[in-house]
Amino acid sequence: MVDFANLHSRARSGFAMAMTLDTPLLQQAEQTAAPASSGRLRRFVRPALGLLLPVGLALGWEIAVRLGWSNGRLVPPPSRVSAEFAELARSGELWRHVVATCLRVAVGFGLGTVVGTLLGAAAGYSTLLRRLIDPSLQGMRAVPSIAWIPLFILWLGIFETSKVALIAVGVFFPIYLGVMGAVMSVDRKIVEVGRTFRLSGPAMIRRILLPAVLPAYVIALRSGLGLGWMFVIAAEFMGASEGLGYLLIDGQQLGKPTEIVAAILAFAVLGKTTDWIVASAAAPFLRWEDRARGAEG
């Protein structure tokens, strides 16, 4: 039941995960293809491989528009998008929207993480508590989170609180599930080592349980963060005067595809950057992991 549910949530956050999982696959392919080439060259070539496809497509489209094969009105070429970007950045608009969106994600992600971690750990640790709360939470999880929007607006108003609440709900579930699963699957044999050395309850948590669940926790945080970015758009669609989601709606209503593409690009950059921050903040604590694939960026 839990595993299946987990899969489901992974699938929902597949958009966010795909971005992070692609790179090592490519690296792996590269590694087997050219084992003997010089190390320094490879360090530059490997990331460049990932850029090949998007840069190639962008260049191709730019050329197509320049040659007049398309007017590029609905699908703006890179030059126009970057001009739009520059204009938004120059006028300070871009920062206003980015800051608004980031703040919402940060507060929502923080709330969802705290509650998800506490409830997930409690439900994983105590069978009684799991029997009490898990079925209800799983039931709530089956509700598409967007469905909460009308209720949240009625309860919390149309301003920041309802938006943050929606993001927090979206972040909560993958983290709750991830933490609960991780705590439940801590190896009994390792726990026995702690018991043999007579660790007290807090010492057992600090020295055995926390390090044991950390790898799964980082994955849960990353999928939670991915969902946070997804839900911030939904939240901003439901009525906002600033934020990247507002920029999207604005671009649609005023017929400005360049603005839409610029906002989408901003989302991609922000999502990838925050995911990278979480992953690399955790990396020093996970060096011990016995992984089939090498460390990922």
Partner 1 sequence: MLILDRVGKTYPNGVHALDRFSADIRLGEIVAIIGGSGCGKSTLLRAVAGLDRATAGSIVLDDIKITAPHEKIGIIFQEPRLLPWLSVADNIGFGLMGLPTELRREKVARALKRVGLTDKADAWPRELSGGQAQRVAIARALVPQPEVLLLDEPFSALDAFTRRDLQDHLLDLWADTRPTLVLVTHDVDEAVVLADRVIVMRPRPGRKFEEIVINLARPRDRNSPLFDNFKRRVLTALDRSLDRSVPDADAKSTAGEAMWW
Report the interface residues with partner 1, using CB under 8 A.
189-190, 192-193, 195-198, 203, 207-208, 211-212, 214, 285, 287-290
Task: Tell me the closest approach of the beta carbon of residue 127 to partner 1, in angstroms.
Answer: 15
Please list, in sequence order, all residues whose beta carbon lies within 8 angstroms of the beta carbon of residue 211, skipping any fewer than 6 positions away.
285
Task: Tell me the closest approach of the beta carbon of residue 94 to partner 1, in angstroms.
Answer: 42
Closer to partner 1 by Cβ: residue 98 or 208: 208
Which among 137, 289, 166 is positioned nearest to 218, based on CA atoms? 289
Closer to partner 1 by Cβ: residue 91 or 280: 280
Task: Tell me the closest approach of the beta carbon of residue 185 to partner 1, in angstroms.
Answer: 14
Closer to partner 1 by Cβ: residue 94 or 208: 208
What is each CA distance from 26 to 207, 273, 278, 280, 297, in whole angstroms?
A: 36, 19, 21, 19, 12
Q: What length does the chain have?
A: 297
Closer to partner 1 by Cβ: residue 40 or 198: 198
Do 174 and 223 touch, CB atoms closer than 8 A?
yes
Distance from C-alpha of 165 to C-alpha of 56, rounded to nearest angstrom: 40
Task: Tell me the closest approach of the beta carbon of residue 5 to partner 1, in angstroms.
Answer: 27
Task: Tell me the closest approach of the beta carbon of residue 288 to partner 1, in angstroms.
Answer: 5
Closer to partner 1 by Cβ: residue 75 or 286: 286
Amino acid at 1: M
What is each CA distance from 198 to 81, 194, 202, 212, 253, in whole angstroms?
A: 63, 6, 12, 18, 66
Task: Tell me the closest approach of the beta carbon of residue 190 to partner 1, in angstroms.
Answer: 6
Which among 24, 1, 13 is positioned nearest to 173, based on CA atoms? 13
Closer to partner 1 by Cβ: residue 92 or 202: 202
Closer to partner 1 by Cβ: residue 107 or 186: 186
Please list, in sequence order, all residues whose beta carbon lies within 8 angstroms of the beta carbon of residue 30, skipping any fewer than 6 positions away.
42, 45, 46, 49
**145: helix, coil or strand?**
helix
Do 173 and 2 touch, CB atoms closer than 8 A?
no
Residue 13, burial from CB neighbour count under 10 angstroms (0-12, 13-18, 19+): buried
Task: Tell me the closest approach of the beta carbon of residue 130 to partner 1, in angstroms.
Answer: 20
